[in-house]
Amino acid sequence: MERAIPTAVVLPTYNEADNLTALVQALLALPNDLTVIVVDDNSPDGTGELADHLARQTGRVLVRHRPGKLGLGTAYVEGFRTALAHGAQRIVTMDADFSHHPRYLPNVIALTEEAALGIGSRYVRGGATLNWGLHRQLLSALANTLARAALRLPSHDCTAGFRCYRREVLEAVNLDSIRSNGYSFLIEMLYQVTRHGFRVAETPILFEDRRFGQSKISEQEIMRAAMTVVRLSTARHR
């Protein structure tokens, strides 16, 4: 019988060949018993093939290949379902570009000893962003302020992708009901988690802009996040 996975790390990827090997090696070197799930959107730079190589080499990487660039939210959902099917009790999400550094992961996971969702946060005491321009900082701060105020979310970093969910959270939330994709998916997931009454906790991280490649966050993504907040807020007050 296949061994259940204690903790799965879901990595959505698109053109992350420059980062993936070093990131997987850093994750698997941590003291936590981790399995990495790479969800690749048919990256033209060969990220998917590299992930397959790492799976064969380590025995601790699972790969899900998708036919094209289908969006961050659906990639997370595919990773969640893969992790749950393999018996994972903790499911981590993080970026594949080292903006979420693996050194913080044990602290994020440790939060779920008491809370149902742990978040690596830029916006609690001790957290920060590095190498961001003022414009991007203001857009991010505005999106978080809007989400917290309109949806009464308990997290200071509502758009954080560095998270650890306990299994029961993802079993309780109807993943098919999440309408958002892209980074607004993160706001809607947090909203659903809190609606189900689960406790959320945060630990500070330094968010470092990606080492290699181009950022996939755009002003359009920020605007979609704002529209998601408006939609959820309207539904909440009906």
2 occurs within a structural domain: no
- 130 versus 48: the higher-pLDDT residue is 48
Identify the burial level of 190 via C-beta atoms within 10 angstroms of its C-beta, where 0-12 means exposed, 13-18 middle and 19 or more buried. Answer: buried
Q: What is the pTM of this model?
A: 0.91
User: In this predicted model, what pLDDT tens digit does every residue of 17-34 receive, in sequence order?
Assistant: 999 999 999 999 999 999
Containing structural domain, residue 36: 7-236
223 occurs within a structural domain: yes
Q: For the residues 93-98, what does the mean pLDDT come to?
A: 95
Q: For the residues 210-223, what does the mean pLDDT come to?
A: 59
CATH of the domain at 206: 3.90.550.10
- Rounded Cα distance between 163 and 186, Å, is 10
Task: Using alpha carbons only, give the angle 23, 28, 30 rounded to the nearest 5 degrees.
Answer: 100
- Rounded Cα distance between 63 and 54, Å, is 9
Percent of the chain with pLDDT over 90: 70
Helix (H) or strand (E) holding 203: strand 200-204
pLDDT reported for residue 214: 53
Say yes or no to pLDDT of 117 above 90.
yes
Task: Read off the pLDDT band of 217 (50, 70, 90).
Answer: low
pLDDT reported for residue 225: 72
214 occurs within a structural domain: yes
Q: How many domains does the chain have?
A: 1
CA 118 from chain center: how many Å? 11
Residue 182: which region, alpha, beta or left (left: phi > 0; alpha: psi -120 to 50)?
A: left
93 occurs within a structural domain: yes
Say yes or no to pLDDT of 1 above 80.
no
